[in-house]
Structure 1
């Protein structure tokens, strides 16, 4: 009888221990924004091969270890940036993201900092091995990710512009690496920049009260709700203009042409939803815009495959 009770206690302990380890693992993944890093890695590979890389064959691209090294450094830098941002936002996230904070609470903050240092050092070490220019590129990238989390995230407008710029920074690096400068690439960069800017502002609209409480001066808690809505709708209108320019003036073809045409209707729908928006509608608009970026990556992939065949 006692042995049965001991076995039950052992099983309960093992199950709780396993659950604790799993919670720690997912807490680290969420803290490092692992899933965001996966999406950006996919987007980097797709855009690098099908947009920036105009002449290189697929075989040469596969064995271009310098490119893979740069993307590897980018992924580590993104993970490190997510950790340091979580470290500075930990109090705010307890209110704004209670579920994520609950999972992350299974890991002490010092272990997040250790992981941040390890990821940063590995990234810079690999970058130094590739070339001194790549090393400088990533030193600048990682410095501004830390500085954004430490200071810039609390400054009006600068916070949004810096966040979006840091998101696009690796793509800019690949564009420079391949020396791909064209009107089409320039307009696509503006299109993506503006969509990410809208996403960031709408996200701030959802955390308006929490941001104000913890001293984050964002567009929604500095201006009125009506003014903020007008700003977002104005940016969406500019996105429509850029889309039409891409369709009519750059000779964009394949699935990407369908993407920008359908995108006009998606943007119109978002504008309509934002005119008299509730919190639930803002969440819907946020997810629509995020999903539309994913659709754009897939459209670029399909267009690239179509063009290479």
Structure 2
């Protein structure tokens, strides 16, 4: 006989994993940090805290991201059985129809809040939700387009906040290129680990469409682009802040990443992927520390 409490708890964990809640929490943290310390350069902390319009937009982002995670796992569930067997077993505690109900509810709440804020915000999130569905349904299987679309959708809320505050500068442009290229590298690296499963289930990716040598060359070229963007950011910022030290250290991290790419073992691919993921998180913490340092001490 099933333990009702254990079964409900398992369903709750299944929903958290299916909706990629932990990824959504990380993106929420990154959104708040970048919004206040990068895009918002005029409002005081007090005004920002009581700016309910901004909090409403970020809430819409969270709900849309959760919905996007659900629809993505719905379309990828066959491949995930091979590449992510543990997560798939946990998600099986909750029937797919409940995931779809949650997808509809999350998107509806997001659009409802967006509509209250303004029609421009409503259409912004309507387009975002459509693109996430279209990516999961069709674009995720198209060569190169899948990587570019995935990274673009990951950054879509950040560009929304950038346009909301109209904070345009060369420094932010260079930082946008840096984060775009880094996320693109991570996505292509991820594809190298799921190469065989992607091929079986009809996902055309750089690693399973081209030779291993070409795939490595693409990743190395992207890492060189990331190094160049890091160097340009340092030239623009100068080497006198926490964020500038982060970008200086990024050059060394990217050099290590090149050596790991040239080492063709599965362990080196896994280590490289996680190193770059952690480095992105370090970047968010660096932005927070840099912002606090400037806000309170200057």
TM interval, shorter chain, is: over 0.9
Instruction: Please point out which of 118, 127, 131 is paired with 2:105.
Output: 118
1:298 maps to 285
2:28 aligned with 1:37, yes or no? Answer: no
2:119 maps to 132
1:197 Cα shift?
Answer: 0.2
Deviates more, 1:247-256 or 1:218-227: 247-256
1:250 Cα shift?
Answer: 3.5
For 2:80, what is the secondary structure of its paired residue?
A: helix
2:186 maps to 199
2:136 aligned with 1:149, yes or no? Answer: yes
Q: 1:127 to 1:253 in 2, by over 3 A?
A: farther
1:76–1:123 contact (8 Å) kept in structure 2: yes
**Hey, which bits of structure 1, 4+ residues long, moved more than 4 A?**
none
For 2:288, what is the secondary structure of its paired residue?
A: helix
1:247 maps to 234
- Cα distance in 1, alignment partners of residues 146 and 62 from structure 2: 22
- Cα distance in 1, alignment partners of residues 240 and 177 from structure 2: 18
- Cα distance in 2, alignment partners of residues 261 and 139 from structure 1: 39
1:77-96 to 2 correspondences below 5 Å: 77-96=64-83
Root-mean-square deviation over aligned CA pairs: 0.9
1:17 Cα shift?
Answer: 2.5
- Cα distance in 1, alignment partners of residues 137 and 81 from structure 2: 18
1:212 maps to 199
1:189 maps to 176
Aligned residues: 296
1:253 Cα shift?
Answer: 4.2
1:19 Cα shift?
Answer: 2.1
- Cα distance in 2, alignment partners of residues 20 and 206 from structure 1: 32
- Scaled by the length of structure 2, the TM-score of the pair is 0.98
Larger radius of gyration: 1
1:254 Cα shift?
Answer: 1.6
1:97 maps to 84
1:10 maps to none
Q: Any stretches of 5+ residues in structure 1 without a counterpart?
A: 1-12
- Scaled by the length of structure 1, the TM-score of the pair is 0.94
- Cα distance in 2, alignment partners of residues 252 and 117 from structure 1: 48
2:210 maps to 223
2:237–2:244 contact (8 Å) kept in structure 1: no
1:50 maps to 37
2:234–2:247 contact (8 Å) kept in structure 1: yes
2:4 maps to 17
Q: Any stretches of 5+ residues in structure 2 without a counterpart?
A: none
- Cα distance in 1, alignment partners of residues 90 and 269 from structure 2: 25
